[in-house]
Amino acid sequence: MPEITPNQYDGEFAALLHQREMESLSSSLIAEKVVVAAASGAEKLGLPIGGLIRWALKNGQTPLETIVEQIESSAAAAIARHEKRLDGHDKELKELWEKLLGQEAQTAYRAAVFHGMRTSDPAKHARLGALTINSICADDLIPERLDEVMRAAVELNEHDIRVLKSIYEMQVYFFTPAEMGKPYNFRIDAIRSRWETWWEHYGLTYLTDGGEAFRSSTARLQSTGLIISIGQVHVLAGPSVNDFELLIEGKRFYERLQEVAVSQ
């Protein structure tokens, strides 16, 4: 493999992003399915099949170029943070860029763009960009897992992330080897005990709207597979009648977002 030098980084990464944008419309099964599904309605629109995507983009949808730019901006910022962390470690820095320019990374970039097309929210595009780079750097690119975290990135709002942060900080301790080695019923009892204390000390912060936002957030966090209900609370001092367990997918997703600012 040719040697990678620092002055190549920006140009090669930008070239990959441009290539990804061009390939995404021509080779993606997702794009193909969209066109096929829309075929039956094309006549009603008075448009040829080949013009449907352009028509959609011109009628209130976020242009693909804007999505790519927003994801790329956040990705570039995440890369800069990783480069700063590796400053002075030339071997590790070269390995980082080999990952970023690798085939698996290119697949991840395409996936980020397609998930980004599901939303017009720049904050969610920023989330996708940093999450993608952090996943690449962590060698966490199993396609099914990457799809799950990217789906969560575009479906969750800032309040959802705030709730996840609270649950993560409360329960990350239970992912230590010692705690993971305990029988599951012991683990759940300990988590429920932690919730009891949390409701009494912090639950009131989520009661400003009667707890509606908290309940909505926990519903979305459950639907994306990040947490699961473990039964009714012992202390009715918070906005929910249920306690929740942080799942390994929720831990992984939150940790992938650590380079992204989380609203307090």
Q: Which is nearest to 253 in space by CA: 227, 214, 216?
A: 227
Backbone φ and ψ of 63, nearest 5°: -60, 145
Tell me the sheet residues that pair with 244.
229
Report pLDDT for 35: 39
Specify the amino acid at residue 241: V
CB 86 within 8 A of CB 137: no
- H-helix or E-strand containing 194? helix 184-201
Q: Give the number of residues written for the chain.
A: 264
Give the model's pLDDT for residue 63: 75
pLDDT digits (tens, 9 = 90+) for 140-152: 999 888 999 999 9
Three-state DSSP class for 173? helix
So what's the pLDDT on residue 32? 43
Q: Within 10 A of 189 (CB to CB), how many other CB atoms are there? A: 13
For the chain (264 residues), the mean pLDDT of every run of 10, in chain order, is 48 55 46 44 52 59 80 92 90 92 92 91 93 92 91 94 95 93 92 87 80 91 95 70 92 83 41
Q: What are the tens digits of pLDDT across the range 16-59?
A: 555 555 544 443 444 444 434 444 554 555 555 556 656 655 66
| Torsional sign, CA 24, 26, 27, 28 | positive
**pLDDT for the residue numbered 26:** 42
